Amino acid sequence: MKFKLKDSLIILLLIILFVAVGFLRDAVFININSQLYKLYFKNYAFTLPNWLAYFNAWPYMKLYYFKYFLTVTFIILYFLLTALSVKLFTGDTKNIKWVFYAYAIVLILSLLSFSIGYFFNNFSKGYLFARNLLGLLQSPFITMIIIPALKLDKQQKTL
């Protein structure tokens, strides 16, 4: 599939968006985790950057639970970017279902991992594995797997 200049610019924009969202996610979570560490141990000299200064007034538990909201937000952002990328690269909106399936499978595996760890008295390992799975959904990993797979599938069907 040849790309026109407009398509090439959209691809460049998508790459920039993936990188920007990734840097934003890292910056937000690193700073909030440092703030949580400071609040918990009360002897850690850390100051949130100005763009996150709003969270200076938040107590530990509120900030801790806010991270779950942020996780969901970044998963949704990456889902939307992945769906848009799949539509652009494959030229077919029907392929977005595979993005949905991939995200659903990883979310279910994450929930299972968390639940198994919780119910079998190994919460820390279940939580850690679930968190790592959710990290896949907050990255371009799914995009990098689905687009080549769909391209190969399309190529196989034309042979």
pLDDT in tens, the chain (159 residues): 566 777 788 889 999 999 999 999 999 999 999 999 999 998 888 899 999 999 999 999 999 999 999 999 999 999 999 999 999 888 888 999 999 999 999 999 999 999 999 899 888 999 999 999 999 999 999 999 999 999 898 888 887
Helix (H) or strand (E) holding 103: helix 96-119
Query: Which residue type is seen at 108?
Result: I
CA 4, 7, 11, 17 dihedral sign is positive
**What whole-number distance in Å separates Cα of residue 110 and Cα of residue 112?**
5
Phi and psi at residue 49, in whole multiples of 5°? -65, 160
Single pTM value for the model: 0.89
Contact (Cβ atoms closer than 8 angstroms) between residue 46 and residue 35: yes
Question: Which pLDDT score is estimated for 43?
Answer: 81
Confidence at residue 116, expressed as pLDDT on a 0 to 100 scale: 94
pLDDT value, residue 2? 66
| Structure token pair of residue 74 | 């970044």
